[in-house]
């Protein structure tokens, strides 16, 4: 049986009466009649209005709250009353400073109105909308995934994600973010990311991601867990920052720091690191490593003749050739200027190194066309082997450099393996260069002169000035030793000017003494030849010594003519206009073309002694010599052969029309005193070698 409390007036058949229900709900409730008078207010409504029901019942709600007449609520409630349909709306009350949500239901007697304070909900929704707008507007891609382990399915992406990746939200939602890595899954930082997710920690990684079109972008990803009220991770938020441009800029900076700006090869800084790594790998596998030091031969002629732009083009061509010769795992570095270093790591057999060296020397000796000019620049290569020739970077580079200098001493255009005694030679070279700088000032340099004569009569036609160095302690030093040092150091310019002045003074002295000798021949170095002040310097020397210009002959090599054609033509023309004679020295050993000889104002060709040594016994050399003589005469040029040492050579040259000779058959190089005596006694001294009359 039910108790009395369960059968009271407010309960019917065990259920709550309407009044009890309205008082128990959390919403405020009021009822108004069709005249808008309050007919009922529950306790919550009285609390909201701050008034007891007895003050409100029977009174018109618009009289009590006149500000409501101008609101949306006024219109919506009249709509419900007049049209007899429920309405719902949200409105802000200035009087009570709250947001409230209203539901109004019409009935025959008026309206039943439910309203509830939703200020906190509205604030939360506004905050959420603000966050959503910020999320949608941010330039960084944002992706939200589930927090479920091993799945982490995407549930939301913002527009920036679609813009950066090219994938739409439909493409991405439901997938794991790993689809952005494509097949590039062997990234070390992916393991870091997986560890962060597993530990449910916040963190940052940088990944290589790929857009929908397959293009790479670098993604700086900041991942953060989202926890519920109980502290459980429900989601992860990832912020993707596209740092591709920043990464590329950093890579460019790094490239500039570690690579040569002209050739793109590794520079000295990167070379040190690469060589250290190569030594480590070779040592670990008990293999050898070859360090090759390469220097271009006569590169200064290209810079001086064609200009630095052509030199740069040549350096880039050389770099490309070296890259094609070496293996992909090897290193080619530009050490500076025209010097390169090559690293061949993990070498099994030294024959492999020899093969590389031979291919380098062979490939680089082939002439190339630069700015419509054919240029030939060979290379000298020095090789040091790890661990035989050193175990450190510094030692191997030093020894390879020493071997390279030895290759130059052997005649250039070749390679040389390091030997211990080479360092002594290099040390001597540096000491010699230091002594050479003082040789002019201390009067250690002197000139010898070698006579030149007509082939047919052996009458004196001139003499060539040849430099000598007499060191007080070292004795006579061969020009083959100190001339290359002078060229490399730039000392050749002041030395060359001294030679020119001294030779002109000697020749002018002979003329003043009434001696006829023809001409004095002086060799010009490439650096002298391309100096802008060359003509003025020669003019000044001729004025100072009083030697007539026609008594001076300047000798240039074929290689010096291989520079800028217009510039060479301009220099030679200016010298020719002064009345100076011009000769091409060592003809036949270079790459001169007939076009140069036709255009340039040359007086004679000087046949290199290498073609004279074996004539007339060598049919090959005899044929070449005849061809040179014929070529010169057809171009209106004279011919002089150097290195003539036998009567047979003289007879051959005279019979084939060679105009002049120079060599030991006539005389060895003489000092000033002996040369003066030779000039004065020329007729009697040359009768012994006069050719047979035919």
* Least-confidence region, from 6-15, 597-606, 662-671: 6-15
User: Class assignment of domain 433-687?
Assistant: alpha beta
CATH architecture of 17-122: 2-Layer Sandwich (3.30)
Q: Tens digits of per-residue pLDDT, 160-179?
A: 899 999 999 999 999 999 99
Q: Tens digits of per-residue pLDDT, 192-206?
A: 999 999 999 999 999
Residue 209 in contact with residue 167, Cβ under 8 Å?
Answer: no
Strand partners, 148: none
379 backbone φψ class: left, alpha, beta (φ>0; ψ -120 to 50)? beta
Round the CA-based radius of gyration of the chain to a whole number and report it.
50
pLDDT of residue 4: 42
pLDDT of residue 3: 42
Select the more confidently predicted residue: 424 or 619: 619
pLDDT of residue 682: 62
pLDDT score of 690 more than 60? no
CA 15 to chain centre: 90
Task: Find the mean pLDDT for residues 390-400.
Answer: 93
CATH topology of domain 138-248: Beta-Lactamase (3.30.450)
Nearest CA to 294 out of 263, 273, 329, 250 is that of: 263
Confidence bin at 640 (pLDDT 50/70/90): very high
The four Cα atoms 117, 120, 123, 126 give a dihedral, to 10 degrees, of: -80
Task: Find the mean pLDDT for residues 83-93.
Answer: 91
Q: Tens digits of per-residue pLDDT, 483-534?
A: 888 887 788 899 999 999 999 999 999 999 999 899 999 999 888 998 889 9
Residue 143: burial class (beta carbons within 10 Å; 0-12, 13-18, 19+): buried
Select the more confidently predicted residue: 376 or 543: 543
CA distances from 660 to 455, 457, 460, 542, 656 (A): 5, 9, 9, 25, 11
Confidence bin at 430 (pLDDT 50/70/90): confident
Token digits of residue 600: 């340039």
All structural domains of the chain with their residue ranges = 17-122, 138-248, 259-419, 433-687
Q: What is the rounded distance in angstroms from the CA atom of residue 685 to the CA atom of residue 458?
A: 10
Strand partners, 110: 33, 107
Select the more confidently predicted residue: 687 or 451: 451
Residue 113 in contact with residue 102, Cβ under 8 Å?
Answer: yes
Q: Which of 150-164, 555-569, 577-591 has the highest mean pLDDT?
A: 150-164
Angle at 65 between CA 59 and CA 70, to 5 degrees: 130
* SS3 state of residue 89: strand
Assess whether the region 17-122 and the region 138-248 belong to the same CATH fold: yes
User: Class assignment of domain 259-419?
Assistant: alpha beta
pLDDT of residue 360: 94
Give residues with Cβ within 8 angstroms of 630, minimum separation 6: 657
Q: Tens digits of per-residue pLDDT, 333-381?
A: 999 999 999 999 888 888 889 999 999 999 998 888 887 777 778 899 9
* Least-confidence region, from 13-22, 80-89, 561-570, 613-622: 13-22
Confidence bin at 593 (pLDDT 50/70/90): low
pLDDT score of 8 more than 70? no
pLDDT of residue 119: 85
Q: Tens digits of per-residue pLDDT, 248-293?
A: 888 788 878 889 999 999 999 999 999 999 999 888 888 899 999 9
């Amino acid at each position: 049986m039910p108790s009395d409390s369960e059968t009271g007036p407010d309960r019917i058949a065990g259920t709550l009466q309407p009044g009890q229900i309205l008082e128990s709900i959390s919403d405020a409730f009021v009822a108004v009649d069709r005249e808008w008078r309050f007919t009922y207010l529950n306790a919550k409504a009285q609390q909201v209005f701050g008034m007891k029901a007895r003050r409100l019942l029977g009174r018109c709600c618009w009289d009590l709250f006149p500000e409501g007449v101008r609101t949306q609520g006024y219109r919506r409630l009249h709509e419900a009353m007049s049209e007899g349909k429920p309405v719902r709306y949200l409105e802000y009350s200035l009087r009570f400073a709250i947001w409230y949500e209203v539901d109004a239901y019409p009935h025959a007697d008026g309206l039943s109105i439910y309203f509830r304070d939703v200020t906190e909900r509205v604030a939360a929704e506004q905050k959420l909308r603000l966050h959503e707008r910020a999320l949608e507007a941010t330039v960084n891609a944002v992706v939200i995934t589930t927090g479920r382990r091993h799945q982490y399915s995407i549930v939301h992406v913002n527009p920036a994600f679609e813009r950066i990746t090219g994938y739409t939200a439909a493409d991405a939602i439901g997938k794991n973010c790993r689809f952005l890595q494509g097949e590039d899954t062997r990234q070390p930082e992916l393991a870091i990311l997986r560890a962060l997710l597993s530990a449910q920690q916040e963190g940052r990684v940088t990944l290589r991601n790929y857009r929908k079109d397959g293009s790479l972008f670098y993604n700086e990803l900041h991942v953060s867990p989202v926890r519920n009220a109980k502290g459980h991770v429900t989601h992860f938020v990832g912020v993707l920052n596209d740092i591709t441009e920043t990464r590329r800029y950093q890579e460019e900076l790094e490239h500039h720091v570690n690579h040569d700006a002209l050739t793109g090869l590794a520079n000295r800084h990167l070379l040190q690191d690469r060589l250290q790594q190569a030594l480590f790998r070779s040592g670990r596998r008990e293999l050898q490593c070859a360090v090759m030091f390469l220097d271009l031969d006569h590169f200064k002629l290209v810079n001086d003749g064609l200009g630095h732009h052509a030199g740069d083009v040549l350096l880039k061509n050389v770099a490309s050739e070296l890259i094609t010769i070496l293996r992909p795992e090897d290193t080619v570095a530009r050490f500076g200027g025209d010097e390169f270093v090559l690293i061949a790591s993990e070498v099994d057999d030294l024959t492999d190194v020899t093969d590389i060296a031979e291919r380098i020397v062979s490939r680089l000796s082939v002439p190339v066309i630069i700015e419509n000019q054919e240029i030939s620049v060979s290379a000298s290569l020095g090789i040091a082997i790890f661990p035989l020739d050193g175990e450190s970077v510094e030692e191997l580079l030093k020894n390879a450099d020493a071997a390279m200098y030895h290759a130059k001493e052997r005649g250039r255009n070749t390679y040389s393996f390091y030997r211990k005694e080479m360092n002594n030679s290099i040390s001597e070279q540096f000491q010699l260069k230091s002594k050479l700088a003082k040789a002019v000032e201390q009067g250690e340099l002197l000139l010898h002169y070698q006579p030149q004569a007509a082939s047919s009569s052996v009458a004196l036609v001139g003499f060539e000035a040849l430099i000598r160095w007499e060191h007080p302690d070292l004795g006579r030093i061969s020009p083959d030793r100190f001339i290359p040092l002078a060229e490399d150091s730039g000392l050749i310019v002041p030395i060359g000017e001294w030679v020119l002045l001294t030779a002109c003074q000697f020749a002018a002295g002979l003329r003043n003494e009434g001696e006829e000798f023809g001409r004095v021949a002086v060799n010009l170095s490439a650096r002298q030849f391309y100096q802008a002040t060359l003509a003025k310097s020669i003019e000044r020397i001729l004025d100072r010594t009083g030697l007539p210009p026609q008594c001076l002959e300047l000798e240039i090599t074929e290689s010096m003519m291989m520079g800028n054609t217009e510039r060479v033509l301009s220099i030679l023309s200016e010298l020719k206009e002064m009345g100076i004679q011009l000769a091409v020295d060592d003809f036949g050993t270079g790459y001169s073309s007939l076009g140069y000889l036709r255009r340039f104002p040359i007086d004679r060709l000087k046949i290199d002694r290498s073609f004279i040594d074996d004539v007339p016994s060598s049919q090959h050399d005899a044929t070449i010599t005849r061809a040179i003589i014929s070529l010169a005469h057809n171009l209106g040029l004279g011919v002089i052969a150097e290195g003539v040492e036998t009567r047979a050579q003289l007879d051959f040259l005279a019979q084939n029309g060679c105009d002049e000779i120079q060599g030991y058959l006539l005389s060895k190089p003489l000092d000033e005193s002996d040369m003066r005596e030779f000039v004065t006694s020329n007729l009697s001294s040359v009768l012994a070698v006069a050719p047979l009359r035919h």
